[in-house]
């Protein structure tokens, strides 16, 4: 786009009462007009992450009204879905009394454009109905225990990788199936309540390592899945190896300071003609390889060996 046009667009945004912000693929604020910065108390020379904006404003009862008992759990849950779809629209209220209609448009590289308009004229009873609707939608996509995405939301993201690859054969994505190692022993030794704490710690640690475009969630029990849209297999593997290092160092149980845990992961890359069952099976077969090879590792599969028959 011509530089003069870009400059003119920036001038229009800067003069507008509409809130406009742009976040990069790691959810760091890269542009915000004065209206947005005023609403969320961000200085002109700052570039905080979205989570940092939420944390500091919540502590000072300003910015977005968050009716949550545990901010960090809410952030983990919200980040597991934030920016995972190309477009989202929702309503939110501010401590200054304004009610906003906000849209999020996400590009393939993870950059996000946020635009919010003041809709405070909507009656309070209508707001309550809409809030209840948004809460119900969020619950339908959230794992109750860990707060990250659930099987339903993950399945949709896996299907999106396959759909994108079918349309653009040069843009493969990756899927990882992850299982906590020897988790039954954790439950047997410490009890299921402590096991739940380990699952919650694991979800939090992995969520903190993701790009915006990646989606992580719980499939059930101690099994999780992670999608890497438009990502080469080796790049995805390096990210999983980094996550494995982070988890190895975690000490989630205050009463058992020597306790640590690991995970095994199976990774595969999409094919243009894939269906979900085949895509998931290859990742699951790679997970089987990781477990029979000693656990605490990542194995990648290109589908050249049928590990399902080798079991």
Query: What residues act catalytically?
Result: 222
How many other C-beta atoms lie within 10 A of the C-beta of residue 212?
A: 22
d(CA 305, CA 299): 13
Q: Where are the alpha helices (DSSP H) in the chain?
A: 3-15, 34-40, 50-59, 71-79, 124-140, 151-167, 183-190, 192-207, 233-248, 276-292, 307-310
Q: Please give the C-alpha separations between residue 51 and each of 65, 70, 72, 79, in angstroms, as whole numbers.
A: 14, 14, 9, 8
Degrees (nearest 5) of the Cα angle 106, 152, 237? 65
Q: Which two tokens stand for residue 145?
A: 């225990």
């Amino acid at each position: 786009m011509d530089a003069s046009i870009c400059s003119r667009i920036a001038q229009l945004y800067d003069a507008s009462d509409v809130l406009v912000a742009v976040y990069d693929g790691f959810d760091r604020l890269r542009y915000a007009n004065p209206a947005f910065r005023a609403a969320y108390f961000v200085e002109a020379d700052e570039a905080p992450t979205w989570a940092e904006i939420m944390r500091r404003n919540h502590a000072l009862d300003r910015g977005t009204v968050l009716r949550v008992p545990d901010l960090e759990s809410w952030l983990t849950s919200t980040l597991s879905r934030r920016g995972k779809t190309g477009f989202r629209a929702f309503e939110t209220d501010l401590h200054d009394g304004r009610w906003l209609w906000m849209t999020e448009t996400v590009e393939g590289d993870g950059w996000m454009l946020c635009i919010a308009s003041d809709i405070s004229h909507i009656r309070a009873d209508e707001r309550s109905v809409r809030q209840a609707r948004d809460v119900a939608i969020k619950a339908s996509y959230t794992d109750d225990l860990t707060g990250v995405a659930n099987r339903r939301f993950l399945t949709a993201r896996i299907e999106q990788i396959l759909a994108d690859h079918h349309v653009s054969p040069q843009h493969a994505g990756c899927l990882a199936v992850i299982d906590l190692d020897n988790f039954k022993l954790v439950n047997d030794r410490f009890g299921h309540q402590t096991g739940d704490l380990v699952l919650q710690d694991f979800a939090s640690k992995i969520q903190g390592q993701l790009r915006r475009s990646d989606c992580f969630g719980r499939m059930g029990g101690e099994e999780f899945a992670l999608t890497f849209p438009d990502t080469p297999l080796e790049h995805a593997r390096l990210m999983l190896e980094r996550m494995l290092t982070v988890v190895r160092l975690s000490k989630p149980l205050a009463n058992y300071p020597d306790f640590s845990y690991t995970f095994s992961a199976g990774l595969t890359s999409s094919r243009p003609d894939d269906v979900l069952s085949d895509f998931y099976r290859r990742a699951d077969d790679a997970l089987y390889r990781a477990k029979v090879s000693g656990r605490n590792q990542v194995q990648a599969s290109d589908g050249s060996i049928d590990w399902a028959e080798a079991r």
